[in-house]
Amino acid sequence: MTAGQSEGGERKYQRIANALRAAIDAGEYRPGDRLPGENDLMAAYQVARMTARQALSVLQSEGLAEARKGAGVFVRTFRPLRRRGIQRLAQGQWGTGRSVWSADLDEDRDIVVDGITVTEQDTPDHIADVLGLSEDERVCARSRRFVLDGKPVLLSTSYLPMSVVDGSAITQEDSGPGGVYARLAELGHAPARFREEIRSRMPTTTEAEDLRLATGTPVFLMCRTAFTEGGRAVEVNEMVLDAGSYILEYDFNA
């Protein structure tokens, strides 16, 4: 047999991938350890390079392993941040109770915000829809990047109508104490209600580069809209999150 899959069992690359996965689960390889490389697998299983490669790619696309060019394939580490969707924007806070997934609570982690840019620009169509703006109205776009332990984990762009924020500190890189929402309140547009919408998909090539994502890591797309008491949408914040770096949490009453 030169090639082709012969009998009714599982594929060769799956057999190899399963063996490696089992070894990881069994603790034979721990997070950060180097897995057998392409050459090792070719020798051990008597397969061609591409087959060994595909086996390793299975583990990568499952998010279990991560290839580093010129170095090897390594077992991935999962140390997510916990992002509390509601408490971070509200005051009321009920007691704790055990959490399901253990996670670092933003303590002892080196989080840096960088790459802040603020521009006035034309309003993208889908943003105009949500903010209820006409075609010719412009918006203030505030972009930021969150970097955790040297790796970017979140990209954020916030859109606010120029008709609301013009002349305020919101159009400055430093929006002042209390941030954008405090300034909105001073302008008579205090956010009273929020809506967060969440999707998840594989990243585009650009997103993967910007967030330096390992292959096999999806992203969260989060879009938060802030409404005033009167029901007007005054801010839309579009975010892209490294899904491997976050646990999203929402606490609410019945």
- Binding interface with DNA (CB under 7 A): 1-6, 11-14, 35, 37-40, 46-51, 53-54, 56, 67-73
Question: Cβ contacts of residue 62 below 8 Å, gap of 6+?
Answer: 21, 216
Instruction: Residue 194: name its binding partner from DNA, a copy of itself, none (Cβ under 5 to 8 Å by kind).
Output: a copy of itself
Question: Cβ contacts of residue 107 below 8 Å, gap of 6+?
Answer: none
Residue 234: name the closest of 197, 176, 195 by CA. 195
Instruction: Residue 218: name its binding partner from a copy of itself, DNA, none (Cβ under 5 to 8 Å by kind).
Output: a copy of itself
Q: Which is nearer to a copy of itself, 37 or 218 (CB)?
A: 218
Per-residue mark of binding to a copy of itself, 4-43 (x: CB under 8 A): ----------x-----------------------------
Least distance to a copy of itself from the beta carbon of 159, Å? 11
Position among 30, 98, 125, 188 found at the interface with a copy of itself (CB under 8 A): 98
The rounded distance, in Å, linking the Cα atoms of 106 and 86 is 15
Q: Which is nearer to a copy of itself, 140 or 234 (CB)?
A: 234
Q: Which is nearer to a copy of itself, 21 or 172 (CB)?
A: 21
Degrees to nearest 5, angle at CA 150 with 148 and 152:
60
The rounded distance, in Å, linking the Cα atoms of 141 and 87 is 25
Residue 171: name the closest of 127, 121, 119 by CA. 119
Instruction: Residue 105: name its binding partner from DNA, a copy of itself, none (Cβ under 5 to 8 Å by kind).
Output: none
Instruction: Residue 54: name its binding partner from a copy of itself, DNA, none (Cβ under 5 to 8 Å by kind).
Output: DNA
The rounded distance, in Å, linking the Cα atoms of 47 and 41 is 7
Position among 66, 191, 234, 240 found at the interface with a copy of itself (CB under 8 A): 191
Q: Which is nearer to DNA, 16 or 164 (CB)?
A: 16
The rounded distance, in Å, linking the Cα atoms of 236 and 248 is 19
Q: Is 216 in the site for a copy of itself (CB under 8 A)?
A: yes
The rounded distance, in Å, linking the Cα atoms of 47 and 206 is 34
Least distance to a copy of itself from the beta carbon of 158, Å? 13
CA distances from 152 to 73, 111, 145 (A): 21, 9, 7
- Report yes or no: 148 and 110 within 8 Å, Cβ to Cβ: yes
Estimate to the nearest angstrom the gap between the alpha carbon of 80 and the chain centroid: 10
List of residues contacting a copy of itself (CB under 8 A): 14, 50, 58, 61-63, 80, 85-86, 89-90, 94-95, 97-101, 126, 129-130, 132, 190-205, 215-218, 220, 223, 225, 227, 231, 233, 236, 243-244, 246-254
